[in-house]
DNA sequence: TTCAAAAAAGGAACCGGTTACATTTGATCG
DNA sequence: CGATCAAATGTAACCGGTTCCTTTTTTGAA
């Protein structure tokens, strides 16, 4: 069947060629191109709007109207065209539409990792909100590398996403310039942006959250408190949390010993290692604030491995409230972060901004201390 | 500055209009359009290949060559053009490129959920492999709904992804037709495809994995074994695992009581509920096979809540080996699934297929029983 | 029945790139 | 020094839609 058509088309073109006056160079060229096209036609099944138009006996403009402004088309035409569309299962080509409209109905999302379920939760929420509005998500995972993140964002801009949702505010100014040049709105999540910087964030307050965790320990009578957190050089969320730790320690008048503070990557092994060092410190802390649950769980494991009772001998507070925080025994005391709400709201704010071609409006969401089983009154 | 240009352009256009003979309608129209364009130009900063070409004093073809085939361009021209490109930070428009080349450098990935870390792991692996090859991932999350999945796939096809990675094989034949019509390769993950169906899968064997889990229990002397699994109506992975359960039960000559089998959604709460029912069964099983770790962990929690010792009074085997399986106490005995390798290989196979415009080649990966703390010799 | 106004449909420019083919430039050689 | 051929560049068609503007058809009132 397909072959048959191919032959049909080809011979039509050849006839056309043969019938030409030799001097008619331009037409000859056109015919050649026609031949090329029809040769391709046999391999490409893709139905275009012109095919539909031809078969329905209308112009492409009308087909387009049928699909996008049906009420500007007469009932009769509407039916005819829709029938042809249905017969072929025709779907308009999103790429061509994007080019013509200068809108891709796509938003870009860049996160550091997806395997930490807390990011998965916010990403899933973004996804849901985007889909509801007819948008698709282009996902980039930076694996905590600023260079990778830059590349990803550039790639997304090249794909002309209509908007961006980023994690944290810290990145090269060139990238911010590129985003600016693309003239698309973006919102930052997981970290509040300085209002001054003129960017919108939908986030919670990392600093206050961390203070909440620290205050809890302090109220339980802990004074010698250790810290495990992410790489504050690469990660502005970790930096905020660390700052809160340091402030609270200063306020309670405890000198922070440098072997009480450990920065580590986001996995359990690293959390364990950090806890090892804390336990080996000459003046062992009575409590540890782990600036994320992944590390907190690793730390908890290390204690259990070494036979150190949690919370009997050492208290642990995490941050994030990942689902796993409830599975470990004892269950982890932690700071609950509104990951899902944040994702959903961020997406909504972004889509609004895209709609009205304005700046997205930011928002700060509350965090909450969830007291479970890994913290107890200091015995010391 | 921008304004200045705008005025410049505008007056040029107006001069052009003014100089026209009134009868030259066509040219007049063209001039109008020119005006429109330049009006837009002031608001749109987007630099196009024509801007670069004009400024460098070459044709757009040459600019395109500079970017894609630099060795076909003379050294001098190359330098000139590259300088202009750099000056403007020009990035070619991916949408236009896609339209011209009929390739989007994009692959679509559809998964049921991202919050189950096992899917996150494979997705992240796909992401990594795609990025390494210059591809971007368009992610769709179906939330276990076949309708949503259909919509997502259709959306991806509309965006003209160059290939698809899907979860499981079971979906409407219309969707498979649509994919076929789009003439793009796809690979199925998480479930082996029938070779006969002519589709490639990069997966492990759910059935054998489930048998492995069941055999482990049987070898420990368990005969009264319960099952908790996903909705086998909606989920072909769950169905395979259930089939293995039933086959093994038949082989050991135990009649499966219907209150030993519970299908549930993929969350802990549902796992707990299922376990509640199992524990309440008149003839309580001595072991439970949970066809995924999320449910297994929920089940374990329920036991602990009710003061039923695991594995003392009841053994539990999970499936997937999510990271959380190691956090719970006792640690979960489970089947380790090669999520990361699967994602990576699936992406590679797909990209190969895209490259050579052929069918992807499938592959089956091994699963492994990981014996931890939730299983023990039957006491019965 | 006639004619103006409204509704429907069509023609073609346009989005921003790529590339086949044509043309120009430059180098080489008899 | 002109012919020849390769290298470099330009021209314009093309990808598959949308939409402005124009033309044609229909409607409805006079």
Interatomic CA distance for residues B34 and B16, integer angstroms: 10
CB A206 within 8 A of CB A241: yes
Residue of A nearest to B180 (CA): A45
CB atoms within 10 A of CB B309: 11
The partner residue sitting opposite A160, judged by closest CB among B94, B140, B182, is B94
Interatomic CA distance for residues A161 and A182, integer angstroms: 9
CB B251 within 8 A of CB B280: no
CB A39 within 8 A of CB A10: yes
Classify burial at B219, counting beta carbons within 10 Å of its beta carbon; exposed 0-12, middle 13-18, buried 19 or more. exposed
Q: Give yes or no for CB of A37 within 7 Å of strand D.
A: yes
CB B252 within 8 A of CB B224: no
Residue of B nearest to A93 (CA): B158
The partner residue sitting opposite A138, judged by closest CB among B92, B138, B324, is B138
Euclidean distance between the first and the last CA atom of chain B, given in angstroms as a whole number: 87
The partner residue sitting opposite B95, judged by closest CB among A98, A156, A178, is A98
Contacting residues of B for A334, CB less than 8 Å apart: none
What number of C-beta contacts closer than 8 Å exist between A and B? Answer: 137
**For position B75, what pLDDT does the model report?**
94
Q: Give yes or no for CB of B82 within 7 Å of strand D.
A: no
**For position B197, what pLDDT does the model report?**
73
A117 and B121 within 8 Å at the Cβ level: the answer is no
B114 and A123 within 8 Å at the Cβ level: the answer is yes
Q: Which CATH fold topology does A100-198+345-362 show? A: Rossmann fold (3.40.50)
Question: Each residue of A157-192: pLDDT tens digit?
Answer: 999 999 999 999 999 999 999 999 899 999 999 999
Q: Domain-by-domain residue ranges, chain B?
A: 2-99, 101-204+340-365, 206-337
Residue A370 has pLDDT above 90, yes or no: yes
Mutation target to probe the A interface, by most A beta carbons within 10 A, among B40, B327, B329 is B327
**For position B27, what pLDDT does the model report?**
33
Instruction: Name the helix (H) or strand (E) containing B227.
Output: strand B225-229
| CA A163, chain centre distance (Å) | 11
| pLDDT tens over chain B, length 380 residues | 222 222 222 323 333 333 333 333 333 333 333 333 333 333 346 899 999 999 999 999 999 999 999 999 999 999 999 999 999 999 999 999 999 999 999 999 999 999 999 999 999 999 999 999 999 999 999 999 999 999 999 999 999 999 999 999 999 999 998 999 899 999 999 999 976 677 999 999 999 999 999 999 999 999 999 999 999 998 999 999 999 999 999 999 999 998 999 999 988 999 999 999 999 999 999 999 999 999 999 999 999 999 999 999 999 999 999 998 998 889 999 999 999 999 999 999 999 999 998 999 999 999 999 999 999 999 86
Question: Each residue of A37-69: pLDDT tens digit?
Answer: 333 333 346 899 999 999 999 999 999 999 999
Alpha helices in chain B (DSSP H): 2-18, 25-43, 49-56, 60-68, 75-88, 94-101, 117-132, 146-158, 173-182, 206-219, 236-251, 268-280, 293-305, 339-356
Reduced to 3 states, what is the DSSP secondary structure of residue B74? Answer: coil
- Does the domain at B101-204+340-365 match CATH 3.40.50.2300? Answer given as yes
Residue of A nearest to B327 (CA): A328
Residue A266 has pLDDT above 80, yes or no: yes
Classify burial at A281, counting beta carbons within 10 Å of its beta carbon; exposed 0-12, middle 13-18, buried 19 or more. middle
Reduced to 3 states, what is the DSSP secondary structure of residue A260? Answer: helix
Helix axes B60-68, B49-56, angle to 10 degrees: 100
Mean pLDDT check: name the lowest of A82-86, A194-198, A337-341, B176-180. A194-198
Contacting residues of B for A128, CB less than 8 Å apart: 141, 143
Residue A196 — very low, low, confident or very high, per pLDDT cuts 50/70/90?
low
Interatomic CA distance for residues A173 and A175, integer angstroms: 5
CATH superfamily for domain A206-338:
Response regulator (3.40.50.2300)
Q: In the structure, how far is the CA atom of residue A337 from the C1' atom of nucleotide D17, in angstroms?
A: 44
**For position A380, what pLDDT does the model report?**
60
**For position A379, what pLDDT does the model report?**
82
**For position B46, what pLDDT does the model report?**
82
What's the per-residue H, E or C state across B228-289? EECCCCCCHHHHHHHHHHHHHHHHCCCCCCHHHEEECCCCHHHHHHHHHHHHHCCCCCCEEE
CA-based nearest residue to B182, from B167, B201, B164: B164
Percent share of chain A, pLDDT over 90: 80
Structure tokens at B353: 């297929």
- Judge whether B101-204+340-365 and B206-337 match in fold: yes
What's the per-residue H, E or C state across A24-59? CHHHHHHHHHHHHHHHHHHHCCCCCHHHHHHHHCCC
Distances (CA, A) of B329 to A266, A283, A301, A373, B313: 22, 30, 10, 14, 15
Residue of A nearest to B135 (CA): A155
| CA A118, chain centre distance (Å) | 12
Nucleotide nearest the Cα atom of A65 (by C1'): D18
| Assigned CATH class of B206-337 | alpha beta
CB A360 within 8 A of CB A185: yes
Rounded to 10 degrees, the C-alpha dihedral B111/B117/B123/B124 comes to 160
Which residues does residue A320 pair with via DSSP β-bridges, in sequence order?
A: A336
Mutation target to probe the A interface, by most A beta carbons within 10 A, among B2, B46, B94, B316 is B94
CA-based nearest residue to B96, from B63, B69, B73: B63
**For position A45, what pLDDT does the model report?**
60
* CATH of the structural domain A2-99, one choice from 3.30.70.20, 2.30.30.40, 3.40.50.300, 1.10.260.40: 1.10.260.40
């Amino acid at each position: 069947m397909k072959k048959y058509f191919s032959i049909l088309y080809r011979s039509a073109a050849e006839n056309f060629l043969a019938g030409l006056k030799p001097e008619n160079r331009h037409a000859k060229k056109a015919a050649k191109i026609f031949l090329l096209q029809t040769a391709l036609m046999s391999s490409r099944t893709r139905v275009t709007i012109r095919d539909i138009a031809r078969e329905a006996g209308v112009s492409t403009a009308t087909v387009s109207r049928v699909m996008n402004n049906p009420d500007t088309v007469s009932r009769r035409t509407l039916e005819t065209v829709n029938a042809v569309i249905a017969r072929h299962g025709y779907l308009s080509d999103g790429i061509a539409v994007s080019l013509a409209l200068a809108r891709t109905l796509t938003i870009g999302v860049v996160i550091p990792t997806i395997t930490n379920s807390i990011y998965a939760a916010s990403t899933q929420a973004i996804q849901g909100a985007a889909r509801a509005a007819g948008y698709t998500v282009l996902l980039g995972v930076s694996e905590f590398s600023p260079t990778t993140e830059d590349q990803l964002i550039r790639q997304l801009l090249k794909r002309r996403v209509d908007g961006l949702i980023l994690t944290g505010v810290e990145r090269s100014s060139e990238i911010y310039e590129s985003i600016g040049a693309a003239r698309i709105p973006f919102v930052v999540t997981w970290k509040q942006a300085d209002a001054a910087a003129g960017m919108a964030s939908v986030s919670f307050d990392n600093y206050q959250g961390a203070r909440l965790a620290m205050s809890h320990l302090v109220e339980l009578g802990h004074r010698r408190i250790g810290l495990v957190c992410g790489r504050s050089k690469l990660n502005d969320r970790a930096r905020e949390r660390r700052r809160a730790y340091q402030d609270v320690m200063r306020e309670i008048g405890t000198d922070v010993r440098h072997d009480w503070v450990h920065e580590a990557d986001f996995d359990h092994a690293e959390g364990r290692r950090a806890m090892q060092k804390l336990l080996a410190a000459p003046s062992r802390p009575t409590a540890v604030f782990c600036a994320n649950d992944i590390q907190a769980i690793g730390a908890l494991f290390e204690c259990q491995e070494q036979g150190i009772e949690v919370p009997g001998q050492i208290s642990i507070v995490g941050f994030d409230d990942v689902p796993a925080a409830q599975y470990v025994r004892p269950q982890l005391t932690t700071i609950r972060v509104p990951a899902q709400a944040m994702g959903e709201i961020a997406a909504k704010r972004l889509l609004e901004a895209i709609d009205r071609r304005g700046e997205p409006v930011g928002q700060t969401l509350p965090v909450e201390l969830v007291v479970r089983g890994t913290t107890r009154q200091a015995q010391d």
